[in-house]
């Protein structure tokens, strides 16, 4: 029986997956989280009206990775869910990402697929490669659609103009010439049948895992790093190194929740984007997403802000260069593994966080001489 002890900081996707993998390979794992609950930002719960919702913003699971899907399927059944979003523009609710319907509705046209392709060809301003998000959007759909659907939303979301953000921010959003109005194109699009928190409870249900909630890790406290053979850290990387190279920029969100007693859906899709005319970026109506049948409906309005929980690493050249300096410090740490959205300072989706945690904790298990997988 192994006596290897690993401390894992953070009980979100990254930390929970690492904890489970290491425990199954024989390590004794202590999992700490400063919050009072597991699941990190994917945590879900019921509000005061009994409506299931995600307090840290809507989380939709989608992936191309069969490996990630199969691994999580050990801990949950799934409910098929294809996410759809409308954007409120010029007094109309149009599909987002842009598709044939979006173009026809916005410009009062009746184009077929070939017509939409020709439309895009006539408005595109190609940049090879685009140097920033503005050039990436112009390359794809031209200036007018950029101003209608992207510029205002980005300015609210990131507090910066499109031209100040790296191209990667917008290249993840597809643009279509057909009527496909799904937000994602991935092969696997599901929600955990009993919710994310229930899935996390099952991931962490292992005799080698001890969970300590309300337990903040303090990198300046030597005792917090002692008493274990390795540390897996999924908190903010700049905090770990006591902001040696300054605080990395993050965007956060302030949420406003409203409940309506009427039972009919309030909006046509789970999420409606407001790129231009409101201070909030988007509104989520939870029952579309969770599939819950209940009287009344709860909506959440998102207001982006610079203060609060670090949600989104800001994808700019300057922040990447700042992070690169922290990365050198990470690589010099012995038996400390940095994983996840905050420690790797990367705009990870849930599936990417899982894939990274599986790879990095598996490599750590081998380095620690733990049992091989499947033993
Ligand atoms: P987190 O979930 O942030 O977990 C980190 C954990 O570490 C937290 O529980 C935190 O409390 C804990 N922690 C931090 N510091 C300390 C410390 N010092 N001591 C102890 N504990 C600490 N992804 C998708 O795939 N689909 C979506 O639809 C989607 N929507 C999103 C919407 C929003 C608003 C946000 C913010 C993210 C969204 N994501 C989505 C991304 C998803 O949340 C992340 O991929 C995922 O949460 C990453 O998991 P993580 O464990 O790396 O980080």
Nearest CA to ligand 1 atom 39: 349
Which among 20, 350, 357 is the best mutation to test ligand 1's pocket, defined by most ligand atoms within 8 Å of the CB? 350
d(CA 322, CA 27): 34
d(CA 236, CA 214): 17
Give the model confidence (pLDDT) of 79-136 as tens digits.
999 999 999 999 999 999 999 999 999 999 999 999 999 999 999 999 989 999 999 9
Rounded distance from Cα 48 to ligand 1 centre (Å): 23
Which ligand 1 atom is nearest residue 38's CA?
9
Rounded distance from Cα 231 to ligand 1 centre (Å): 18
Q: 224: Cβ below 6 Å to ligand 1?
A: no
> Which residues are CB-contacts of 247 (< 8 A; sequence separation ≥ 6)?
238
Report whether 138 contacts 62 (CB < 8 A).
Answer: no
Residue appearing with tokens 């609950």: 37
Q: 323: Cβ below 6 Å to ligand 1?
A: no
Which among 195, 234, 251, 305 is the best mutation to test ligand 1's pocket, defined by most ligand atoms within 8 Å of the CB? 234
Query: pLDDT value at position 172?
Result: 65
The secondary element (H helix, E strand) that includes residue 260 is strand 250-260
Rounded distance from Cα 228 to ligand 1 centre (Å): 24
Which ligand 1 atom is nearest residue 239's CA?
18
Residue 77, φ and ψ in degrees, nearest 5:
-90, 170
Distances (CA, A) of 329 to 250, 315, 323, 336: 20, 20, 10, 11
Rounded distance from Cα 92 to ligand 1 centre (Å): 33
Whether pTM > 0.85 for this model: the answer is: yes
Q: Is the dihedral of CA 251, 344, 20, 207 positive or negative?
A: negative
Pairing of strands 52-53, 45-46: antiparallel
Rounded distance from Cα 341 to ligand 1 centre (Å): 7
Query: Going residue by residue through the chain (375 aa), what tens digit of pLDDT does each one get?
Result: 679 999 999 999 999 999 999 999 999 999 999 999 999 999 999 999 999 999 999 999 999 999 999 999 999 999 999 999 999 999 999 999 999 999 999 999 999 999 999 999 999 999 989 999 999 999 999 999 999 999 999 999 999 899 988 888 777 668 999 999 999 999 999 999 999 999 999 999 999 999 999 999 999 999 999 999 999 999 999 999 999 999 999 999 999 999 999 878 899 999 999 999 899 999 999 999 999 998 899 999 999 999 999 999 988 889 999 999 999 999 999 999 999 999 999 989 999 999 999 999 999 999 999 987 765
Average pLDDT, the chain: 95
Give the model confidence (pLDDT) of 242-261 as tens digits.
999 999 999 999 999 999 99
Distances (CA, A) of 92 to 69, 101, 146, 301, 370: 36, 12, 16, 19, 58
Nearest CA to ligand 1 atom 8: 40
Q: 302: Cβ below 6 Å to ligand 1?
A: no
């Amino acid at each position: 029986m192994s006596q290897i002890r690993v401390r894992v900081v953070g009980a979100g996707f990254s930390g929970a997956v690492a904890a489970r993998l290491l425990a199954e390979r024989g390590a004794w794992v202590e999992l700490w989280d400063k919050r009072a609950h597991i699941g990190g930002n994917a945590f879900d719960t019921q509000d005061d009206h009994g409506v299931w919702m995600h307090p840290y913003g809507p989380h939709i699971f989608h992936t191309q990775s069969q490996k990630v899907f199969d691994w999580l399927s050990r801990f949950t059944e799934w409910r098929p869910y294809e996410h759809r979003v409308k954007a409120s523009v010029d007094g109309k609710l149009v599909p987002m990402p842009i598709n044939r319907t979006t173009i026809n509705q916005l410009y009062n046209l009746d184009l077929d697929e070939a017509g939409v392709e020709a439309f895009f060809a006539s408005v595109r301003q190609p940049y090879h490669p685009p140097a920033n998000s503005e050039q990436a959007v112009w390359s794809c759909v031209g200036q007018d659609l950029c101003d209608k659907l992207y510029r205002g939303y980005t300015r609210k979301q990131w507090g910066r103009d499109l031209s100040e953000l790296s191209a990667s921010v917008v290249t993840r959003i597809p643009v279509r010439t057909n009527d496909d109005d799904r937000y994602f194109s991935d092969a696997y699009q599901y929600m955990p049948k009993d919710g994310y928190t229930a899935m996390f409870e099952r991931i962490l249900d292992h005799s080698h895992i001890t969970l300590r909630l309300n337990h903040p890790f303090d990198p300046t406290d030597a005792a917090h790093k002692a008493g274990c053979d390795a540390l897996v850290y999924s908190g903010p990387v700049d905090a770990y190194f006591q902001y040696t190279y300054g605080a990395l920029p993050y965007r956060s969100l302030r949420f406003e929740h409203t409940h309506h007693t009427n039972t009919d859906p309030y909006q046509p899709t789970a999420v409606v984007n407001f790129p231009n005319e409101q201070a909030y970026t988007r509104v989520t109506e939870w029952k579309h997403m969770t599939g819950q049948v209940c009287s009344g409906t709860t909506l959440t309005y998102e207001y982006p802000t610079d203060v609060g929980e670090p949600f989104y690493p800001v994808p700019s050249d300057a922040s990447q260069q700042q992070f690169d300096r922290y990365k050198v410090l990470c690589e010099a740490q012995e038996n400390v593994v940095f994983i996840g959205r905050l420690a790797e300072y990367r705009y990870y989706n849930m599936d990417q966080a899982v894939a990274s945690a599986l790879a990095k904790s598996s490599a750590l298990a081998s380095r620690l001489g733990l049992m091989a997988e499947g033993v």
